[in-house]
Structure 1
Amino acid sequence: MSDSFRIFLQVILIWFAGLGAATQFAKIAVPFADIGLLYPDHAAVIGWLLSIISLMGAALGAISGAFTARIGPKRLLLSGLFLGGALSFLQANLPGFQLMLLSRVIEGLSHLAIVVAAPTLIAQITTGRARYNAMVLWSTFFGVAFALNAWLGLPIVNHYGLPAYFALHGGLMLVIAILVALSKLKIDIDQPDDMGWGLTAFLGVHLRTYRSPFISAPAIGWFFYTLTFVSLLAILPGRLPEGQGASIAALMPLAGIVLSWLLVPFLLTVLSCISVVNLGFALGIITIIALFLGAPLAFGCIALFAVLGLVQGGSFAAVPELNDTAETQALSYGAMAQMGNAGNLLGAPVLLAILMGANEASMFVAVAAFYGIAILVHLALAKRRKSTGLPGSNDLK
């Protein structure tokens, strides 16, 4: 077996680990009505079963990058997969609400371990154009997992029930973990000698991460992406004429995946990753302007999510472009996990407050403003990188 084919198989295996991690969200979100029927006495707080994972990521995302550097990404990936599989088997027993909620808190740690360790591994085992293609593939894991759970998971729930659905997820997570354990994935990370585990170390990791225009840039742009992605996916289909919502909701994330696959690898041959991200945000603003000029909302929904695919693919690829070592890449992916979860937590409440307090037009103005701020922040960080004269600071092109 050639080295390139072996690496290709390893990337696909890691991507499947990502599908398992995304399903930790999807297995609650997709059959959410069935989850509600399972706990009728907790209707007011049932949403916590979904969002509690985001809380863990928002709190611990940055430190998870440092933890990856300490124990190694393969070991962390295996820990996340085995823990996630075991928790899904526990959930298959349909425990009481409190125990189910506790299992979701712990599952947040499993999810965080996977989404930080996996892209760190991909960035280290690939190089050049193959790395860009691999990162574009990785960036699709969330959308693909949600689509698969909608197409395949819901029929399983309808025919066999939630226990079988959860148990199948647990089994797949354990199979992937075994395959990862048997693989020859191995990278060396220079571990920081001065890293501790107290509050000082916790604050130090955050300061180091967010002071660096190299480590923090992908994460800060990712915050503005996630601030609108999940919330618009939830809000916009309900604003469409009756009969269009379900089909448009299915097409929106797929449009981003398709455009990311078709355009991002080509664009990365002529533009830096951050330039591709900013192009995506700029096209998002143009799409919103088109809505104000009379474009149909259904077109705007699909077009907006399509161009956000450039942000999706470019942001993950930006981490290895801006950071040369496995340790700084792990820190950057940890920051992306933190900012992404923070955006997911804040997005829906913020946009719904604007929608209910004002109107739909004001909501779209806010979304365009978020994208404009993201572009300005990226340009400012790029200027800081260029002023350092360090490798990776040439992304103003």
Structure 2
Amino acid sequence: MSSRGSWAAILVIYAAGVAAAAQLGKLSALLPPMQHDLGLDLTVAALLVSLLEIGGATLGLFAGVVISRVGARRALLAGLMLMAIAAAGMAATSAVAGLFLWRIVEAAAYLAVAVAAPTLTIAVATPAQRATALALWSTFFPVGFAVGSILAGLGVEAAPWRWVLLGSAGLTALLLLPAWHLPTPPEAAPRRAAKGGAHPLRAPVGAWLMAVGFACYTVFEVGLLAVMPAYFTSQRGVSASMAGLITGAAAFAAVLGGLAAAWWMRRDRPLGGFMAFGVVVPALLLFAVFTPLGGTWFWPAVAAMLLNAISGTVPAVVFARLPDTVGPGGDMATANGLLAQGGASGSLLGPPLLAAAASHWGWPAAAGAGLVASALCLLLLALAQRGHDGVAAVSRR
């Protein structure tokens, strides 16, 4: 593949990101049979799902520095290899502790791919391709979650969950060959450590507010997607494959929200009310998903898809407004790392939080937990949207 302007290379990088995000969706779909075979509590099982985000939650700010030292292409290859090994390891172990250890390895692999892939995309794309390539990259998580959830849900109907994990390992390993032939442009090559590195804690107050607000958003969003298969199988009586299909479709619906947000922002419309709509309406719809009323699975599934389509507008607005919180001449790399760590932290906390609420007080309590997270998200993002000057004024008081 050529070093510049290769759409084949851009698509291989995107496929690596989709494969990484699929590791979250696959385990969400496999939770019901894994719980049955291993006797896992719902909260423990949900924590196993969310552990994929532990690397980003603890090391997201600094992962970019490490990857700049080893090179983005090498980091991508290492991440794919570790993901394949971890999936095979989870399939082979019978101990719950072993599952958690392999999931932590998978978390490190996910972080490597999630940080290296956009870096490599920027380096490979030409200036004319870059906006389209990064717009494509921004959809990797919902698409990957949907692919993982749907394929794992279908697979577990035909084979034991351990064989599904082995299949996941094989599919991930297949990406190593095209990834091996990816170019290494100068911007993505290994670099020496720079003197006088940035201090993450010195990021502007607005960037911190936006990162914590985004964490609250991912508590709601990822928590919902992680527990949906368990809800639809236990409360609505659907099969594991149907629960995976519903969850995957709901995750993929978020892509529509991102496209709608891009259209809205291109028309230079006000973002305050638009963002509030994207936070408040999904929080209310969550009560239509986790409803105590009996009946068919259809309407809760429709509510889940509509909810995700609307809430998909939030990440697009957050990424678009982040430069405003940093201000002219600010350190965007530090702010982006902070935002990534906020999103990963929320993704780590969301599944066990919603699962614990459902286990102790019933499924409507999970909707209540999501509502609280959404209220905090709206408050923090509204404060952050005051912009660099407004936040600075608040911080000086």
Normalised-by-shorter TM-score class: 0.7 to 0.9
| Residue in structure 1 matching 2:385, options 370, 375, 379 | 379
8 Å contact kept, 2:325–2:388: no
| Residue in structure 2 matching 1:256, options 254, 257, 261 | 254
1:279 corresponding residue in structure 2: 274
The answer as to 2:138 corresponding to 1:139 is: yes
1:274-353 to structure 2, matched below 5 A, reads 279-285=274-280, 301-316=304-319, 331-348=334-351
1:199 corresponding residue in structure 2: none
1:157 corresponding residue in structure 2: 156
Amino acid at match of 1:230: V
Q: Which runs of 5+ in 1 are unaligned?
A: 197-203, 388-397
Amino acid at match of 2:224: L
Q: Structure 1 pair 165/352, CA: closer, same or farther in 2 (3 Å)?
A: closer
CA distance in 2, matches of 1:346, 1:75: 30
1:317-337: CA deviation from partner (whole Å, max 9, x where unpaired): 6679999xxxx6664554333
2:194 corresponding residue in structure 1: 193
Amino acid at match of 2:389: K
Amino acid at match of 2:201: L
CA distance in 1, matches of 2:85, 2:352: 32
Q: Which moved more, 1:44-53 or 1:349-358?
A: 349-358
CA shift at 1:364, angstroms?
6.5
TM-score (norm 2): 0.74
CA distance in 2, matches of 1:122, 1:277: 31
CA shift at 1:258, angstroms?
2.2
CA distance in 2, matches of 1:382, 1:303: 33
TM-score (norm 1): 0.74
CA shift at 1:76, angstroms?
1.6
Q: Structure 1 pair 243/135, CA: closer, same or farther in 2 (3 Å)?
A: farther
CA shift at 1:256, angstroms?
1.5
CA shift at 1:116, angstroms?
1.3
Secondary structure of the 2:132 match is helix
1:231 corresponding residue in structure 2: 223
CA distance in 2, matches of 1:185, 1:264: 33
Amino acid at match of 1:252: A
Aligned residues: 370
CA shift at 1:30, angstroms?
1.1
Q: Structure 1 pair 137/298, CA: closer, same or farther in 2 (3 Å)?
A: same
CA distance in 2, matches of 1:97, 1:2: 45
CA distance in 2, matches of 1:313, 1:151: 24
8 Å contact kept, 2:85–2:169: yes
CA shift at 1:379, angstroms?
1.3
Q: Which runs of 5+ in 2 are unaligned?
A: 288-298
Q: Structure 1 pair 378/185, CA: closer, same or farther in 2 (3 Å)?
A: farther
8 Å contact kept, 2:215–2:346: yes
CA distance in 2, matches of 1:277, 1:132: 24
8 Å contact kept, 2:286–2:304: no
Amino acid at match of 1:122: T
CA distance in 2, matches of 1:382, 1:152: 44
Amino acid at match of 1:340: G
Q: Aligned Cα RMSD in Å?
A: 4.4
CA shift at 1:118, angstroms?
1.2
CA shift at 1:68, angstroms?
2.2
CA distance in 2, matches of 1:353, 1:34: 19
Q: Structure 1 pair 256/364, CA: closer, same or farther in 2 (3 Å)?
A: same
Amino acid at match of 1:110: A
The answer as to 2:200 corresponding to 1:206 is: yes
1:348-390: CA deviation from partner (whole Å, max 9, x where unpaired): 5656777877976855652442232133232134436999xxx
CA distance in 2, matches of 1:83, 1:231: 25
8 Å contact kept, 2:51–2:348: no
CA distance in 2, matches of 1:236, 1:172: 25
Q: Structure 1 pair 282/365, CA: closer, same or farther in 2 (3 Å)?
A: same
Secondary structure of the 1:255 match is helix
8 Å contact kept, 1:66–1:205: no
Secondary structure of the 1:92 match is helix
Q: Which moved more, 1:154-163 or 1:312-321?
A: 312-321
CA shift at 1:154, angstroms?
2.6
1:254-305: CA deviation from partner (whole Å, max 9, x where unpaired): 32212323x2443343449xx769733443325657999xxx9776544432
CA distance in 2, matches of 1:347, 1:90: 25
